[in-house]
């Protein structure tokens, strides 16, 4: 075929331009032009030069040749896109609804070529004995950063510079000071060295437990026989999942393939990274949001050239342009951060299945509290389920007490701490053991509950909690149901009915009133504003610099604190009432993780869960650390109300400048959706349209927001409806009005 014409997607994200435009390929480019290449083309009436990507090459034109313009040339600094990535972009566009250019940008982590960067590492110049002495001197002088770096260098003689300044948060000036003293050297190399261990440890290669070996063997046997599957590893923290990933990666690399490991950004700690660095050295690279465009580009180039074989990072690491991926791992697969908040609103798990299909790779998911989606698929035989039951580091699961806060009120205790928790806190402070207080504020959306009986104001149609709006009106964000403000509890008549308003700061104050001598660290949005604020607080607590750590959901992930023997969960049910169908799942997961924080070391742990709904199944099963029990009840609820994963659900949001206009557009589109497929005879299989209703944030920057939901069993049908809605919107909507679609949303709108 002669390469004469090219279809080009222009780099402008507008629905009206969301199609390829055809260009003539100039003589000079005919031999070299390929699909995916980034080119410069004249566009529009003014023939302004625009960047675009070639998505198809043809030898006959589809248009009047007179009207076809010439490609101007390769785009300066343009990065071309691999064929598999184009197919992946098409998948994103089709399944999640976005323009092709948005989808292409999503799969291209670095869109501009930049000069490759130098790799630097920090190497210890002193021998072990000297370095140990230096560290002790630093400690005496309270030079904690220097001491911390030396402690790590005593283990690994050489460490990648970005790991030191990033995850260890040692400032460049500290490194420079040590360099000037002749204690360390900063070396520039063309690539990272393997972090070299000073002491060769006996336990470096662990013998896998029977359970672990079974998983590794099964996945590899399948792989070698050509069958590709999805495997779900269900195991508590410390049960050896990471060890399984590492072994699998080693084997996959031996087979000449590459591996992608997704870990939520919050869990990308120094401890985790060093484990991969020390096993894979220069073959591994880490992606995270703080990398510059240059660094991202550099990594993509190294992945393409085969200089690295393993990448670790949050969801966007999925798009690393490896030539031949053999394994994808998603750790903590239940995490909400695997769902993109920007268009295309893809889910990393589903997208990973597609990447695995494109490359012929195996997919391994791991979690202590699997998402309902993953577990449901495992129960239906779509995923292979493995359960890791033991904690390999020793330490026992904590003893959990559930405290009924209604009873506390009845007994005259108005404090935010129950008597049980106060008693245990006093004991731990006395013993100099550490305490974590976790305030569950996840998804907090102004719901109303009764402190006397625990009753929560809910929508009679959707079984989610109602949200308090100005003047006290209560509104359901799914269907728009509304009722007036409540003064007394409809269940028990008590006047103690209101929203929960305590924050981490108040908890800190109350704690200081009770125990003035206790030292307290607080972690919330305020104290973690600065870069690294999060890790700094965690490592201070880890180093024993405080007795108590107070925080929101941020503190339940990542780090291990061996000296923590008491975890207090305040307001466990706050997240239960978050006004969306995933509230129970999220609560179970958070409570399980929080409780699991106690007793990681040699000392046994205890946990206290304070709640107004002690009988709720999420609380009961979390206290018993019983995932299966929780799953059975939760899936019944999803079946009954036809929520995902039993059904598929599409959220359709409409943004408009006028309230009436927005409502009208939403109603028109909802009607169109409704006109689709009610031919199903069985009620339980029919297409359901819920709403439209004002969104949770009904008005933002003077733009009114409406939302409706479409539930249907078959995903493909929803995609078909999405296409129809988009088509209709293109006709009805003015330039300032927008439509946004989200499949199986993680958050409520």
Contact residues: ligand ADP, CB under 6 A: 206-209, 212, 235, 237-243, 392-393
Q: How far is the CB of 366 from ligand ADP (least distance, A)?
A: 7
| Contact status: 455 vs Zn ion (CB under 5 A) | yes
Rounded to an integer, what distance in angstroms lies between the CA atom of residue 550 and that of residue 505? 9
209, interface contact from Zn ion, ligand ADP, none, CB < 5-8 Å by kind: ligand ADP
Provide DSSP, 343-359: SS--BHHHHHHHHHHHH
| Contact status: 462 vs Zn ion (CB under 5 A) | yes
For residue 76, what are its two tokens?
Answer: 């300066």
Burial class (CB in 10 A: 0-12, 13-18, 19+), 471: exposed
Rounded to an integer, what distance in angstroms lies between the CA atom of residue 399 and that of residue 683? 46
Q: How far is the CB of 272 from ligand ADP (least distance, A)?
A: 8
Rounded to an integer, what distance in angstroms lies between the CA atom of residue 34 and that of residue 23? 14
Q: How far is the CB of 213 from ligand ADP (least distance, A)?
A: 8
- In the list 481, 515, 637, 676, the residue contacting Zn ion (rule: CB under 5 A) is 481
- 326 or 558: CB nearest ligand ADP: 558
- 112 or 387: CB nearest ligand ADP: 387
721, interface contact from Zn ion, ligand ADP, none, CB < 5-8 Å by kind: none
- 229 or 482: CB nearest Zn ion: 482
Q: How far is the CB of 464 from Zn ion (least distance, A)?
A: 7
453, interface contact from Zn ion, ligand ADP, none, CB < 5-8 Å by kind: Zn ion
- In the list 378, 450, 556, 741, the residue contacting Zn ion (rule: CB under 5 A) is 450
| Contact status: 461 vs Zn ion (CB under 5 A) | yes
For residue 648, what are its two tokens?
Answer: 């598929």
| Contact status: 476 vs Zn ion (CB under 5 A) | yes
The residues pairing with 81 across neighbouring beta strands, listed in sequence order, are none
Half-sphere exposure of 623 (CA within 13 A, CB side): 20
Rounded to an integer, what distance in angstroms lies between the CA atom of residue 592 and that of residue 612? 18
- In the list 150, 157, 435, 479, the residue contacting Zn ion (rule: CB under 5 A) is 479
Task: Answer for the pair 597, 549: CB distance below 8 angstroms, yes or no.
Answer: no
Element (H, E) at 42: strand 38-43
Instruction: Give 340's contacts (C-beta < 8 A, 6+ positions apart).
Output: 106, 315, 346, 347, 348
Q: How far is the CB of 492 from Zn ion (least distance, A)?
A: 3
| ∠ Cα 558 563 566 (to 5°) | 85
The residues pairing with 536 across neighbouring beta strands, listed in sequence order, are none
Q: Please state whether beta strands 284-286 and 703-712 pair in parallel, antiparallel, or not at all (unpaired).
A: unpaired
Q: Can the peptide bond before residue 543 be classed as cis, meaning omega within 30 degrees of 0?
A: no
- 117 or 213: CB nearest ligand ADP: 213
Neighbours of 30 (CB within 10 A): 12
Q: How far is the CB of 306 from ligand ADP (least distance, A)?
A: 28
Q: How many helices (H) and strands (E) does the chain have?
A: 21, 31
455, interface contact from Zn ion, ligand ADP, none, CB < 5-8 Å by kind: Zn ion
- 43 or 612: CB nearest Zn ion: 612
417, interface contact from Zn ion, ligand ADP, none, CB < 5-8 Å by kind: none
- 492 or 540: CB nearest Zn ion: 492
- 235 or 584: CB nearest ligand ADP: 235
489, interface contact from ligand ADP, Zn ion, none, CB < 5-8 Å by kind: Zn ion
| Contact status: 695 vs Zn ion (CB under 5 A) | no
242, interface contact from ligand ADP, Zn ion, none, CB < 5-8 Å by kind: ligand ADP
- 209 or 422: CB nearest ligand ADP: 209
| ∠ Cα 355 359 361 (to 5°) | 85
CA distances (Å), origin 505, targets 501, 525, 578, 612: 11, 11, 21, 21
Rounded to an integer, what distance in angstroms lies between the CA atom of residue 679 and that of residue 666? 24
CA distances (Å), origin 274, targets 152, 197, 281, 533, 589: 10, 11, 9, 20, 27
Q: Where are the beta strands (DSSP E) in 170-257?
A: 184-189, 230-235
Q: Tell which residue, 272, 275, 256, has the closest CA to residue 264.
A: 272
- 207 or 227: CB nearest ligand ADP: 207
- 52 or 558: CB nearest ligand ADP: 558
Rounded to an integer, what distance in angstroms lies between the CA atom of residue 504 and that of residue 510? 10
Rounded to an integer, what distance in angstroms lies between the CA atom of residue 350 and that of residue 743? 11
Q: How far is the CB of 491 from Zn ion (least distance, A)?
A: 4
| Contact status: 489 vs Zn ion (CB under 5 A) | yes
Instruction: Give 73's contacts (C-beta < 8 A, 6+ positions apart).
Output: 26, 28, 29, 39, 40
Q: How far is the CB of 164 from ligand ADP (least distance, A)?
A: 22
Q: How far is the CB of 228 from Zn ion (least distance, A)?
A: 42
459, interface contact from Zn ion, ligand ADP, none, CB < 5-8 Å by kind: Zn ion
**Coil/strand/helix, residue 189:** strand
| Contact status: 494 vs Zn ion (CB under 5 A) | yes
CA distances (Å), origin 47, targets 7, 43, 75: 17, 5, 15
| Contact status: 451 vs Zn ion (CB under 5 A) | no
- 393 or 413: CB nearest ligand ADP: 393
- 477 or 597: CB nearest ligand ADP: 597
- 205 or 531: CB nearest ligand ADP: 205
Options 94-102, 362-370, 410-418, 460-468: segment touching Zn ion (CB under 5 A): 460-468
Q: How far is the CB of 203 from ligand ADP (least distance, A)?
A: 7
Task: Answer for the pair 191, 307: CB distance below 8 angstroms, yes or no.
Answer: yes
212, interface contact from ligand ADP, Zn ion, none, CB < 5-8 Å by kind: ligand ADP
For residue 206, what are its two tokens?
Answer: 């662990």
- 36 or 366: CB nearest ligand ADP: 366
Options 112-120, 456-464, 566-574, 644-652: segment touching Zn ion (CB under 5 A): 456-464
Options 94-102, 170-178, 194-202, 479-487: segment touching Zn ion (CB under 5 A): 479-487
Q: How far is the CB of 201 from ligand ADP (least distance, A)?
A: 11
Neighbours of 606 (CB within 10 A): 20
Binding site for Zn ion (CB under 5 A): 450, 452-453, 455, 459, 461-462, 476, 478-479, 481, 489, 491-492, 494
């Amino acid at each position: 075929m002669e390469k004469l014409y090219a279809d080009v997607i222009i780099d402008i994200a507008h629905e009206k331009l969301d199609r390829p435009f055809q260009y003539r390929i100039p003589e000079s480019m005919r031999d070299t032009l390929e699909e995916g290449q980034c080119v410069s083309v004249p566009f529009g009436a003014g023939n302004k030069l625009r960047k675009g990507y070639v998505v198809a090459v043809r030898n006959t034109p589809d248009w009047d040749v007179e009207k076809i313009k010439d490609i101007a040339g390769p785009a300066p600094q343009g990065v071309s896109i691999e064929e598999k990535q184009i197919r992946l972009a098409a998948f994103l566009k089709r399944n999640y609804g976005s323009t092709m250019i948005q989808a292409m940008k999503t799969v291209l982590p670095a869109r501009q070529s930049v000069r490759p960067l130098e790799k630097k590492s920090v190497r210890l110049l002193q021998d072990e004995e000297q370095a140990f002495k230096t560290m002790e001197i630093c400690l005496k002088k309270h030079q904690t950063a220097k001491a911390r770096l030396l402690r790590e260098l005593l283990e690994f003689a050489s460490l990648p510079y970005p790991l030191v300044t990033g995850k260890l948060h040692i400032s460049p000036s500290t490194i420079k000071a040590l360099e000037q003293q002749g204690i360390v050297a900063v070396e520039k190399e063309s690539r990272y060295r393997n972090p070299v261990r000073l002491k060769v440890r006996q336990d470096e290669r662990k013998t896998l437990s029977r359970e672990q070996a079974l998983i590794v063997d099964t996945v590899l046997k399948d792989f070698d026989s050509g069958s590709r599957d999805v495997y779900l590893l269900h195991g508590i923290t410390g049960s050896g999942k990471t060890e399984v990933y590492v072994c699998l990666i080693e084997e996959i690399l031996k087979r000449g393939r590459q591996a992608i490991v997704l870990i939520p950004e919050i869990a990308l700690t120094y401890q985790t990274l060093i484990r991969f660095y020390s096993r894979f050295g220069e073959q591994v690279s880490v992606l995270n949001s703080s990398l510059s465009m240059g660094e991202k580009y550099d990594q993509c180039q190294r992945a393409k050239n085969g200089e690295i074989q393993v990448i670790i990072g949050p969801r966007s690491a999925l798009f690393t342009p490896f030539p031949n991926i053999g394994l994808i791992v998603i750790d903590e697969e239940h995490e909400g951060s695997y769902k993109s908040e920007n268009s295309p609103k893809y889910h990393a798990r589903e997208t990973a299945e597609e990447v695995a299909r494109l490359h012929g790779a195996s997919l391994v998911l791991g979690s202590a509290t699997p998402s309902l989606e993953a577990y449901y698929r495992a129960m239906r035989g779509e995923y292979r389920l493995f359960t890791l039951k033991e904690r390999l580091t020793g330490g026992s699961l904590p003893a959990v007490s559930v405290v009924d806060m209604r009873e506390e009120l009845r007994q005259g205790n108005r404090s935010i701490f129950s008597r049980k928790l106060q008693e245990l806190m006093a004991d731990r402070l006395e013993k100099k053991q550490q305490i974590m207080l976790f305030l569950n504020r996840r998804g907090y959306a102004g719901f109303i509950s009764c402190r006397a009986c625990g009753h929560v104001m809910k929508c009679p149609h959707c079984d989610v909690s109602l949200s308090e709006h100005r003047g006290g009106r209560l509104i359901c964000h799914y269907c728009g149901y509304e009722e007036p403000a409540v003064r007394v509890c409809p269940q028990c008549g008590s006047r103690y009915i209101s929203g929960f308003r305590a924050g981490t700061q108040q908890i800190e104050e109350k704690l200081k009133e009770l125990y003035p001598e206790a030292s307290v660290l607080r972690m919330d949005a305020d104290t973690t504003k600065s870069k690294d604020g999060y890790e700094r607080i965690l490592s201070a607590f880890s180093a024993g610099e405080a007795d108590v750590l107070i925080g929101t959901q941020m503190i339940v992930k990542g780090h291990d604190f061996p000296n923590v023997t008491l975890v207090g969960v305040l307001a466990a049910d706050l997240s239960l009432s978050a006004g969306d169908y995933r509230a129970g799942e999220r609560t179970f997961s958070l409570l399980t993780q929080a409780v699991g924080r106690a007793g990681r070391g040699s000392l046994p742990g205890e946990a206290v869960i304070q709640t107004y709904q002690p009988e709720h199944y999420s609380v009961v099963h979390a206290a018993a650390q019983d995932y299966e029990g929780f799953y059975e009840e939760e899936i019944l609820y999803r079946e009954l109300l036809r929520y995902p994963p039993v059904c598929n659900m599409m959220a359709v949001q409409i943004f408009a400048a006028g309230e009436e206009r927005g409502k009208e557009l939403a109603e028109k589109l909802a009607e169109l959706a409704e006109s689709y497929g009610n031919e199903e005879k069985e009620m339980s299989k029919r297409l359901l349209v819920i709403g439209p209703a004002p969104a949770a944030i009904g008005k933002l920057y003077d733009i009114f927001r409406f939302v409706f939901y479409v539930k249907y069993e078959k995903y493909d049908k929803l995609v078909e409806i999405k296409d129809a809605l988009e088509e209709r919107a293109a006709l009805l909507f003015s330039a300032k009005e927008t439509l946004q679609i989200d499949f199986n949303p993680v958050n409520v709108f």
